[in-house]
Chain A
Amino acid sequence: MKVTEQNVVYVADLANLELTDEERGRMVRDLNSILDYIDRLNQLDTSDVAPLAQTLDRYGVDESKQGTARFAYASRDDIREGLRKSLPHEEALANAPESDGTFFKVPKVIER
């Protein structure tokens, strides 16, 4: 058992979840079963292997250029004029669970 109920409570807190007692018990069981399987990664020696965060770092780059210019496709020109309009206020608020027409409303932030 790698993951204890205490770990689950801690991680749920990091993830902004609470979980019911029943969910916590099940999470302990499921995470242990999945992590047991994931442990087979330790069979591989990766001490000399660089990590890969995303594949376009290796493909679709212009190797003739230096530094971030290699990823020139990934940036767009600065726009000085004719900027895309931002979302109208009422559209930005249209999906809000609660608003006062100007701002998003939330429950009080500081508990006493």
Chain B
Amino acid sequence: MDLDSLTIDSARTAVAERKTTATALAEAFYDKIQKDDPQIGAYLILSKNRAMETAGRIDRLVAQGADLPPLGGVPVGIKDVMVTRGVRSTAGSKILGNYIPPYDCTAVARMEAAGAIVLGKLNCDEFAMGSSNENSAFHPVRNPRDTSRVPGGSSGGSAAAVAAGMAVVALGSDTGGSIRQPASFCGVVGLMPTYGRVSRYGLIAFASSLDHIGPLARTVKDAAIVLRTIAGRDPMDSTSADVPVPNYVAELEKPIRGLKIGVAKEYFGEGLDGEVRNAVETAIEKLRSLGCEIVPVSLPHTEYAIPTYYIVATAEASSNLARFDGVRYGYRARNARALSDMYRRSRDEGFGAEVKRRIMLGTYALSAGYYDAYYLKAQKVRTLLTRDFDEAFKKVDAIVTPTSPTAAFKLGEKVNDPLAMYLADIYTVTADLAGIPGISIPCGETHEKLPIGLQILGRHFDEATILRVAHAYEQATAS
């Protein structure tokens, strides 16, 4: 069986029709991970016992002649910012290096309840803070397309595992672009749902008003199946919205003819690589040829998105990460003289450089005398950014942009320049700030054969439309 080209339906059908078993399929993935992952570094922790338990359950269902659930027997990976009961969950950080959670993240529990086999926990930037996966406290991830390059971040392990056939689909998280940018760099599909669409219960918090869980997959349809599985109200997360979850898969086949697609000039300005621009403009022409009406729109505050994001996200991170104190769980520094000394040294030794930088920036922005100038100011500009989308979506059904200004960059290229790294998220942070959904799908390659991503943004709770446009584009360009 060719693991690289399996989809949810083909894997599930192979198990249901007894061409393989869920157990044998999981074993095949573990063999592949053992052989290929040393070159990539996508996985941090393998959860083989748990995987084999679920696989056994699926195989018994098949033996009984029962119908398989939607993800029955499908091997998946989970970004290691989602907690898993009994399976080490690190957030890519030394401070949680030995943490074994007593409960499951809702999204993971829903995947497993739908029959998914959780192979293991995927590498990421520490606390999901980064755009290259080089901030993992354990090891970086390499891009399967070119191992001298980064896979993007922070869900770099998730994107790389899906691209390299080491999981059929994966869950990632997106706070400023962390699903869509690595999907773009690795040539896979990455969907960030609307804020509140998917429960955040059990997602190790980075910035609570911006964090989203979503799928990375090889096809738009697989992303739709996963979203349907994990979406919907969860009593354990008061910000999970009570908005009906449509059948995204059935919606995929609706025609896109007549849809109005917005193109914003602000996403095609200085800093956009020429090859990326050409690929995205070609994709826009393809959508036009499929019957969409292309409409110019303006999102005038776009240039203020990165500065807004790095205040809001770091302020929230500084309070969320205050819980790591070496008392109840996590890393504790040895031989501390007193309690306050223990807190400080545990955090000093447990957090990496980028995490400390963001805690410091966020604490500064919230501190007396700076709160109005930075935090309150950023929240006000967040309103302006959100209004830009409100206005645009009065005229159009979706907006297309490049996902990232460049294709994957080299390892080490931006590690010493935090601001340059932050600018890698310039086209993705706006959607997180506005709470709207966005998807990145492959739309060609550079002359060096590096994948390029097309981003499609939609209205709040209208994932169905962006999935439909993405699916139509994918089908029309399939080779």
Contact = CB atoms under 8 A, between A and B. Distances in A.
Contact of A56 (B235, B239, B364, B377): B239
Contact residues on A (Cβ < 8 Å of other chain), bracket: 35 or more
Contacts of A7: 364
B413 interface: no
A95 B99 contact: yes
A24 to B, nearest CB: 10
Contact residues on B (Cβ < 8 Å of other chain), bracket: 35 or more
Nearest to A47: B380
Interface centre among A52, A72, A76, A98 (most CB of B within 10 A): A52
A75 B386 contact: no
B449 to A, nearest CB: 33
Contact of B100 (A12, A94, A106, A109): A94
Given A15-B360, A18-B344, A56-B241, A51 B380 contact: yes
B380 A38 contact: no
Nearest to B363: A15
Nearest to B101: A95
B384 A44 contact: yes
Given A12-B360, A14-B363, A31-B361, A59 B311 contact: no
A16 B318 contact: no
B348 interface: yes
Contacts of A46: 377, 380-381, 384
Interface in B359-397: 359-361, 363-364, 367, 374, 376-384, 386
A56 B328 CA distance: 32
A3 B370 CA distance: 12
Given A19-B348, A44-B384, A49-B384, A8 B306 contact: no
Nearest to A50: B383
Contacts of A97: 326-327, 329-332
B223 interface: no
Contact of A95 (B241, B318, B330, B418): B330
B359 to A, nearest CB: 5
Contacts of B476: none
A95 B329 contact: yes
A28 B337 CA distance: 28
Interface in B37-92: none
Contact of A52 (B100, B242, B383): B383
A111 B331 CA distance: 22
B419 A34 contact: yes
B374 A98 contact: no
Contact of A34 (B235, B310, B327, B367): B310
Interface string A55-78: 110111000000000001111100
B304 A40 contact: yes
B100 A55 contact: no
B325 to A, nearest CB: 7
Given A16-B325, A53-B209, A55-B209, A11 B100 contact: no
A16 B336 contact: no
Contacts of A100: none
Interface string B317-353: 0100010011111111000111111111101100101
Contact of B327 (A51, A91, A104): A104
A38 B310 contact: yes
Interface string B229-241: 0000101001101
A51 B356 CA distance: 27
A17 B348 contact: yes
Contacts of A30: 357, 418
A18 B348 contact: yes
Contact of A17 (B347, B376, B386): B347
A16 B343 contact: yes
Interface string A81-112: 00000010001101111100000101111110
A70 to B, nearest CB: 12
Contacts of A95: 98-100, 102, 328-330
A36 B318 CA distance: 20
Contacts of A23: 353, 356
Given A38-B311, A46-B377, 13 more contacts: A16-B344, A37-B419, A40-B307, A41-B308, A49-B381, A52-B386, A53-B379, A54-B435, A56-B196, A87-B102, A94-B100, A95-B329, A106-B327
6 contacts: A27-B360, A31-B360, A33-B419, A53-B209, A95-B328, A98-B332
